[in-house]
Amino acid sequence: MNVFIFGSGAWGTALSVLLTDNGHTVTLWSHDPEKAAAMVRTRKNPALPGVKLPETLAVTSDPAGAERAELVLFAPPSKQLRSVAAAAAPHIRPGTVIVSATKGVEADTDLRMSQVLRQVLGKDCPVAVLSGPSHAEEVSRRMATGCVAACEDQAVAELVQEVFMNQMFRVYVNRDVVGVELCGAVKNVIAIGCGVVDGLSLGDNAKALFMTRAMAELAVLCQKAGGEWTTCSGLAGMGDMIVTCLSVHSRNHRAGLLIGRGAPVEQALREVGAVVEGYYAAASVRSLSEKLGVELPICRSVYGILYEDHDPEETVHTLMSRDRRSEFGFGWGK
């Protein structure tokens, strides 16, 4: 299959290596002509140290190559997806399979990434979502990984499954696009909070409490938005949350760790040195939850730390001092 990938960051590049391994004709697009030329020359991407790009992988800064593609994958940072999609739109043929590998909720519009693509591309193209616990560093090194291909159209989900799956990259299908995308966005917010917990040296008990109750919030949000709570217990939910909250590769956790240790938010974001998706997602998730009338105390607390200069230690104390309640909202009756 002829595949065109918009976004030459670590994730887009890792997926280009995967798809080339699978025997597809792959072109990787960068918005920066100099970066594209350097990748062609060195067969390396600085975002993935030690990984050699396949010789058959094409790299370009010209979006016109998408005109020949049967499948177009988008993997830029969430805040850049709309502008990248706008650049791609004139070159995508109707009927082309579109795959979103970007996790987030768009600021100002509260749209999920697949919704942004549908709105901008404006063509009769099926849109699927690829998500799950999948650090680019490990995927690019052919380490065992599992993901979810989500689409309302079963045939499209199964096509994406077939295109991406191999012996080291296992893909499951799911119809719940809403749940899969919200899980992918909110887990980044949770990971920042989990990093704060570690930065404050609150211990493993506190971290387990934080992650579990944050997952309960996510399940409520997914249901209210039209998704399925069961998605939260799968790879896109629990799986992605675990890897993002606990891995040394997680930029979101690293940012939270620095904040918990006393670094100002802006300094922490600079020190991480790459896009911290959870920072942007925290504002979007807060806006979406208010629009849907959903109370998310943990996600709201992370927002307060990031945007309202709330003290992390006092924030934890406030969360621990909330009113008593049933774990799942059930009572014993009279």
Q: Which residues are catalytic?
A: 187
The set of long-range contacts for 223-230, using a CB threshold of 8 Å and a minimum separation of 24, is: 224/292, 224/293, 224/294, 225/178, 225/182, 225/288, 225/292, 226/178, 227/176, 227/177, 227/178, 227/179, 227/180, 227/182, 228/176, 228/178, 228/179, 229/179, 230/176, 230/179
Check the CA dihedral 254-259-262-265 and report its sign. positive
Inter-CA distances, 235 with 174, 180, 315, Å: 10, 9, 29
Q: Which residues have a Cβ under 8 Å from the Cβ of 22 and sit 6 or more positions away?
A: 163, 164, 166
